[in-house]
Amino acid sequence: MKRKYFMATNSKKEVLAEMRDAFGQTLVDLGAEYENMIFIDADLHTSTKASMFKKRFPDRFYQAGIAEQNMFGMAAGLALEGFIPMPSTFAAFASRRALDQIAISIAFPQLNVKIPGSYVGIPTSRAGGSHNCIEDIAIMRAMPNMLVADPGTNIELSAVMKAALKHLGPVYFRVTRYAVPELFDEDFEFEFGRGQIISEGNDITLFGTGIMTHHNVEAAGLLKKKGIGAEVIHLASIKPIDENLIIESTLKTKCAVTSENASINGGFGDAVLSVLGEQNPVPLKKIGVKDRFIESGGIEELFNHYQMQPADIVLAAEEMIIKKASIQTTV
């Protein structure tokens, strides 16, 4: 299979829009295309930037208030009537507070509901444990019938949202309150179940999802200075995941590191690990939050605290390369 390669072109000095801004603008674009699209808000539209949709389509914007369980019940009813509802709240409230309603009323009957989970992972920063969510990937990927995506850039978020609207069935996608340099061209098209090769390498594979792929790009640059060739693979589609690309890369590199803006328990790293465990076992280390809740603090401070910076990925990569060599020597 021929793969398309993508490379970051933005400079860090550029002023970048946060992903929630791209979310708001894409809502407006999709609202113009899909007249049956309904947005339901849990009193957070100024935070998520869904206020853009409210201003443009006030007759298709419904305020459920801080009643998330009821909001997802409303979404199920609207879907049964032929609408495409998008019930929106922070990921913490979607994946924890309203989980039963999502499971029984939406996922079980495979209703056409699109669920954006906002304010995910480390960049939720000072909001504290009640609003910060690191478990949503693990929860949602375990949900039957649910597609799951963690876009890494603004352009990719827009592409994920467009693909979600085309898919007939429930979709959960993450929206990070963060800004990173762009990896993709304006004409990028997202496809569920397919990943992207950001850069090639032969010594180790750096698998990333969401904004952590940008950290992998930086880590690959640091490894290159040490004479280590890292292959950077971006997997925004977590469920379904690109098994062929995972196997294809690790057959070449024979070791890997996964990076996610989430808990490593049951999340993206475990999704990659389950593929490798069944088809191509190789040394692998997971970068992410390790079995703890997020404390309150500055974003970079928290990335440092939870050892999720590019330098931490470099250390993990070097450790796996050493482990690979020891295994090969033993064999």
Contact 225, 196 (CB under 8 A): no
Mean pLDDT of 29-38: 96
List, for residues 157-170, the tens digit of each pLDDT value: 999 999 999 999 99
- β-bridge mates for residue 258, sequence order: 207, 286
SS3 of the chain: the string is CCCCECCCCCCCCCCCCCHHHHHHHHHHHHHHHCCCEEEEECCCHHHHCCHHHHHHCHHHEEECCCCHHHHHHHHHHHHHCCCEEEEEEEHHHHHHHCHHHHHHHHHCCCCCCEEEEECECHHHHHHCCCCCECCHHHHHHCCCCCEEECCCCHHHHHHHHHHHHHCCCCEEEEECCCCCCCCCCCCCCCCCCCCEEEECCCCEEEEECCCHHHHHHHHHHHHHHCCCCEEEEECCEEECCCHHHHHHHHHHHCCEEEEEEEECCCCHHHHHHHHHHHHCCCCEEEEEECCCCCCCCCHHHHHHHCCCCHHHHHHHHHHHHHHHHHHHHHC
Dump pLDDT digits (tens) for 241-253: 999 999 999 999 9
- Domain residue ranges of the chain, discontinuous segments joined by +: 19-175, 196-330
pLDDT in tens, 50-108: 999 999 999 999 999 999 999 999 999 999 999 999 999 999 999 999 999 999 999 99
Q: What is the fold, at CATH topology level, of the domain defined by 196-330?
A: Rossmann fold (3.40.50)
Overall average pLDDT of the 179-197 stretch: 95
Same fold for the domain at 19-175 and the one at 196-330?
A: yes
For 19-175, which CATH superfamily applies? Thiamin diphosphate (ThDP)-binding fold, Pyr/PP domains (3.40.50.970)
Prediction pTM value: 0.93
Residue range 33-60: average pLDDT? 95
* Two tokens, residue 47: 């935070």
